Structure 1
Amino acid sequence: MDKIYFNQISVTQPMAEGVAEAMASWEAMDSEKLVQETREQISTLFRGPGAEKVVFTETVGTAMAQTIRGLFKEGDHVLVSSLENDEVIGALEAIGHETGSDGRGGVEYTKIPCDKKGQLYLYDPAKDTDVLTVIRGMLRPNTKGLILNYVSEVCGSVLPVKELGEFARRNGLIFIVNGAFSGGYVPTFMNLWNIDIFTFYGGYGLLGPKEACGFIASERAAEMLGGSSMREKYEMASLNMPAIAGLHRALEFVIQKKVRFLCNNGLQMVEYFIRKIQHVSGVHIIGPGYKDRIPVISIQTDFMPESLVAEKLEKDWGIIAEAGFHGSESAHRALGTYPRGTLRFSFGYFTDIKEMERLVKAMWQLTVQTDILPSGSNMPKE
């Protein structure tokens, strides 16, 4: 039985055409030219300030941790979305503490709450106020920054980067956006949206190697991180040339195809999945509906633990998904799925309808194989 990879966030399979070949033959390329061109591609795709502001790091977590440490100091306060991943929260905890904790010193941070759909609470619907009232009320005299996960790797929701970028500009905040899983799926206008740090990840939406990671800094952030010596201070000492070669080839594909076109297929698969699965008794969809999302969706079930669902899907159907916290305990607490976690499916550009049909059929079979649910009336409908 052929394997179907519905954990594309973790294992991008397949990657864009020619990526594997580029990674295997990088030694035959002009390394300096290859690196420079890849920096230019990254800046172009995310509308950044230029190739000289692109820095390659070992992981996205490294990029986030390094820039957080470089841009904030003891006594500062930052705002952070409640959907951040563990690496961001870990970096903040290493140098500070959350508002209301007993910690002293370091960088203090306050989480912006979100609803059960994975959308940030930016306003109070019961009051006639502008949409940023809630977050404005969190500002302090020592608030220096705003950190935002562009998309949630748990439920797939897309957060309002453009609006919060304008908010950051008006309030003089350093704006850091974790774009690890947004690249290739939602557009980014770094210069127009006042983004100071934007992190990238070569896998998933960029259809390249997951080892190709880093960040882009704005002119302002670059000066704060060392100016002309920024790359020397923060870039990995020995570049991963096979990964950069693979990313170069993948970006050629992504830039040629255009982001909105690439996203379309994955969103069609999400819509198909929701339409079918929402009628299966005992399956609960976590997060937003068809819109304002990337092709990532999480569920919880009534009939068995999500880890067992994942095990059965792989064993009986050749379907590989991922159960657990997905590297974001904070998001699960915000979404109400803690401490259980979820079963996550991440679809992609190459996911096809036959694979989705197998998944829907498998989920249906799992419900009728249990004693909890009656058979017959739960078959997925349009």
Structure 2
Amino acid sequence: MMYYFDNAATTVQKPACVADAVSKALTSGLYGNPSRAAHGYSLRSYREVEQAKDLVRRLFHAGDDYGVAFTHNSTLALNLVLKGLIRPGAHVLTTMWEHNAVLRPLYQLEKEGVTIDYVRADAGTARLHYEDLEQKLRPETQLVVCNHASNVTGNVLDLTRVKEFCRRHGLLLVLDVSQSAGVIPIDLSDGSVTAVCFTGHKSLYGPGGTGGICIRRDAPAVPVVTGGDGVHPFEHEQPGGVPAIFEAGTANVSGIMGLAAGIAYSLSHEQDLKKRQNALSEQFLAGLRQVPGLTVYGDFTGPRVPVFAINFAGAESATVSDILWNTYEMATRPGFHCAPLVHRALGTTDIGAVRFSFSSFTTAGDIDAALKALHEIAAL
């Protein structure tokens, strides 16, 4: 029997409704290119895309002040938003929790005159020093970008505190919600968040190659990718405001329909999914604390997503992960998880960490099997 514990990378088990939606789009012969014609095929696709956008706004409790643009993933979404919002000469605040989907666009912008400061993270727990926000604020600070939930430790950002800081100083706020969307509530109703960038293939149970941006319509963004919009062919510059400037080219209608089905599933089972994943996390953490020689990284005093990073003393994370797969058929993720600054804080830059992450399809029996395997590895 195989066990899948790499849901922070992608969920491989999807609700049947997701496959049904993608199949409908691809096999019915009814879905054309949205916003490219007035015939039924095009209009049918356009309606599906608009309904999917309504679901995204519902997921994030976003009002009419927010628009939605679909992208291939959160990496593209973050590139479009950060490069579209941040101006040369600006100062940006971010954290040591960030994924390379945030860090590498910022490093590119740094070469263009943008300066960056980082909120520090404690050793071992990666608990953030939120006081750094005030201490590192500058007159030219324009934007704060934060990972809402760490893809390494599972810890969740104190979003209330960050929003208050941004409101107080009139700063733009961008959130990477790749790990939190579909797992914990995200509420944009107060308008404090400028944009959230999300991916579809994790806890929203959508197909790979889906994601997007939910962004305030008054955000001062400029287009990064330009091309056809199907409406204004003679204009030299990308037409339309936010979010239309992020939508050049043909939409992934089948993927968007699958993502919409995944979001609808998440919304309809929201309370059950949250309760189930909390129970699995509590079961796993309690068991981990009984495994000899095991280090569990993170802060366990506040809200979390079901992501756990562990190591055995003196063992390479890749070696442990290989044993879990080759001996127990358990899929985990070793290494550095595209989040180098977190690993620097945790002191794991030499060996990485083994990551377990769960979905609504993970069972209590799966957790028991994982804990049994870890006990056996500890005895080697």
Pairwise same-fold verdict (TM > 0.5): yes
| Partner Cα distance (1:290, 1:170) in 2 | 27
Aligned to 1:73: 87
| Partner Cα distance (2:189, 2:106) in 1 | 25
Instruction: Compute the displacement of 1:57 (Å).
Output: 1.4
Aligned to 2:311: 300
> Is structure 2 residue 259 aligned with structure 1 residue 251?
no
Instruction: Compute the displacement of 1:229 (Å).
Output: 3.4
| Partner Cα distance (1:264, 1:288) in 2 | 20
TM-score norm. by structure 2 comes to 0.87
Aligned to 2:56: 42
> Is structure 2 residue 336 aligned with structure 1 residue 325?
yes
Cα pair 1:26 1:242 within 8 Å, conserved = yes
Change (3 A) 1:90 1:215: same
Cα pair 1:285 1:299 within 8 Å, conserved = yes
Cα pair 2:92 2:143 within 8 Å, conserved = yes
Amino acid at match of 1:208: G
Change (3 A) 1:4 1:51: farther
Aligned to 2:24: 25
Aligned to 1:158: 156
3-state DSSP of counterpart to 1:110: strand
1:244-283 superposed matches below 5 A = 244-258=256-270, 260-283=271-294
3-state DSSP of counterpart to 1:284: strand
| Partner Cα distance (1:218, 1:325) in 2 | 33
**Structure 1 moving runs of 4+ over 4 Å:** none
Aligned to 1:120: 128
Deviations along 1:107-139, whole A, 9 cap, x unmatched? 1010011223232112xxxxxxxxxx4321111
Change (3 A) 1:77 1:248: same
Cα pair 1:150 1:161 within 8 Å, conserved = yes
3-state DSSP of counterpart to 2:127: coil
| Partner Cα distance (1:195, 1:38) in 2 | 21
| Partner Cα distance (1:361, 1:236) in 2 | 50
| Partner Cα distance (1:230, 1:68) in 2 | 14
3-state DSSP of counterpart to 2:367: helix
Deviations along 1:180-201, whole A, 9 cap, x unmatched? 1111111111132600010111
Cα pair 1:39 1:51 within 8 Å, conserved = no
Deviations along 1:146-176, whole A, 9 cap, x unmatched? 1110000011000011221121011010100
| Partner Cα distance (1:134, 1:358) in 2 | 42
Instruction: Compute the displacement of 1:256 (Å).
Output: 1.2
Instruction: Compute the displacement of 1:263 (Å).
Output: 2.1
Amino acid at match of 2:126: G
Aligned to 2:221: 224
Instruction: Compute the displacement of 1:338 (Å).
Output: 1.7
| Partner Cα distance (1:267, 1:275) in 2 | 12
Instruction: Compute the displacement of 1:347 (Å).
Output: 0.7
Aligned to 1:143: 141
Task: Pick one of 234, 237, 248 that aligns with 2:249.
Answer: 237
3-state DSSP of counterpart to 2:295: strand
Aligned to 1:85: 99
Q: Sequence identity, in percent?
A: 25
Instruction: Compute the displacement of 1:220 (Å).
Output: 2.5
Change (3 A) 1:338 1:184: same
| Partner Cα distance (2:120, 2:66) in 1 | 36
- Structure 2: runs of 5 or more not aligned: 32-43, 224-238
Change (3 A) 1:290 1:210: farther
> Is structure 2 residue 212 aligned with structure 1 residue 211?
no
Change (3 A) 1:165 1:31: same
| Partner Cα distance (1:178, 1:278) in 2 | 30
3-state DSSP of counterpart to 2:209: coil
Q: Superposition RMSD on alpha carbons, in Å?
A: 1.9
Amino acid at match of 1:241: V
Aligned to 1:286: 297
| Partner Cα distance (2:286, 2:323) in 1 | 22
3-state DSSP of counterpart to 1:204: coil
Change (3 A) 1:359 1:31: same
| Partner Cα distance (2:127, 2:375) in 1 | 29
1:173-188 superposed matches below 5 A = 173-188=171-186
Cα pair 1:17 1:250 within 8 Å, conserved = no
Amino acid at match of 2:127: Q
3-state DSSP of counterpart to 2:154: coil
Deviations along 1:233-283, whole A, 9 cap, x unmatched? 32251222221111111111111122x432221222121111112121121
Cα pair 2:146 2:174 within 8 Å, conserved = yes
Deviates more, 1:23-32 or 1:223-232: 223-232
Cα pair 2:65 2:216 within 8 Å, conserved = no
Task: Pick one of 335, 349, 354 that aligns with 2:365.
Answer: 354
Cα pair 2:3 2:331 within 8 Å, conserved = yes
- Structure 1: runs of 5 or more not aligned: 98-104, 123-132, 370-382
